[in-house]
Amino acid sequence: MASGKLLRQLIKSGANGNVEAFRTASEEVIREERDKHHHLLANDLEKMLYGHANTANKPFFSLVKQIPNDKERGLPLLHIKEPIRRIEDVVLSDQNSALIDEILQEHHRQEVLKSHGLSPVDRLLFCGPPGCGKTLTAEVMASELGRPLAIVRIDSVVSSYLGETASNLRQVLDFVSSVPMVVLFDEFDALAKERADVADHGELKRVVNAFLQLMDSYEGKSLLIAATNHEGILDAAVWRRFDEVLVFEPPNVKQLPPLLACKLRGLRREFEIDSTEVINLFKGMSHADVERVLRRAAKEMVLGGKEFLSTRHLQSAIRREDTRRARMK
């Protein structure tokens, strides 16, 4: 809770209509809360103070109608969705969590940055194995910024026609330049593979060159996020086009208890989520694996007429997950 002195200053400036003093006091309250690691509260206060990105001039349904299509097959190049998951729905490493908080703050306060000739980070690269929270984090950032989430459909963008893939990319970036969105290029390695790869034909090399040129000239309002499970095959020149690179990994022992608490929110259980027995059950799993196991366990509990989730339900769900993995090999 903010100090008494700050609260008096905040209320006094508000009552007197002193906008500048009110903003200064509000920013100090936000700093205090962030220093106390009350990041959710600080983020919400920032939104109230600075407001969401203004997309009122182009409502969601209007954006969907304007999505560009691939000329070859007539398929939409993007899928736009309204994000529903919030920052409390994702569990990240301390480093990634701090970096996401910093980026969100830059966008909430972009007018302050612009008044000093600066601009917020607008190009991020997410890399790491599948199921470790890359797509979820993109949705969370869109939700926290009050923006639509636009997912680039790589299967539509990549065309068999000579030069059409670069044209599709240009359409995508032109579309997202005018309205603030969070844009996710999932499976990004399909567009930015190492040009020295002798197995690839000339068209793919031209696609990489076109993408690099488009990124260099991009000056739009949207936050661009590229996500890949295969960062090792990305072209070396691609890395320099991103302001920040976030590496996502499976949850470690420290991250498992908050992840379990997040995914089991609202469910009654017979066990403590930070017990060694429970933590050992989930070691080595990705975020998606954990969520899938817990969903199976919860269904077994409900269909079995039980009121409390037990470790027996967890173990049963994990056995099914092990069978699933064995079949995938």
Average pLDDT, the chain: 85
Confidence at residue 1, expressed as pLDDT on a 0 to 100 scale: 53
Question: Which of 29, 57, 249 shows the shortest CA–CA distance to 134?
Answer: 249
pLDDT > 70: percent of the chain:
88
Q: Output 291 or 322, whichever has higher pLDDT.
A: 291
Which CATH number is 60-247's, of 3.90.1150.10, 3.40.50.720, 3.40.50.300, 3.40.50.1820?
3.40.50.300
The fold for domain 256-328 equals Helicase, Ruva Protein; domain 3 (1.10.8)
Confidence at residue 49, expressed as pLDDT on a 0 to 100 scale: 73
Confidence at residue 54, expressed as pLDDT on a 0 to 100 scale: 42
Report pLDDT digits (tens) over 172-223.
999 999 888 999 999 898 887 776 654 555 667 788 888 888 888 888 889 9
Q: Which two tokens stand for residue 16?
A: 């007197």
Q: Where are the domains of the chain?
A: 4-36, 60-247, 256-328
Q: Output 174 or 324, whichever has higher pLDDT.
A: 174
**224 pLDDT higher than 70:** yes
As a whole number, mean pLDDT of residues 321-325 equals: 81
Band of residue 329 on the pLDDT scale cut at 50, 70, 90: low
Report pLDDT digits (tens) over 113-145.
999 999 999 999 999 999 999 999 999 999 999
Confidence at residue 163, expressed as pLDDT on a 0 to 100 scale: 77
This prediction's pTM: 0.78
Say whether 256-328 and 60-247 share the same fold: no
Confidence at residue 21, expressed as pLDDT on a 0 to 100 scale: 77
Confidence at residue 313, expressed as pLDDT on a 0 to 100 scale: 96
Q: Output 23 or 180, whichever has higher pLDDT.
A: 180
Confidence at residue 201, expressed as pLDDT on a 0 to 100 scale: 58
Q: Which two tokens stand for residue 226?
A: 């590229």
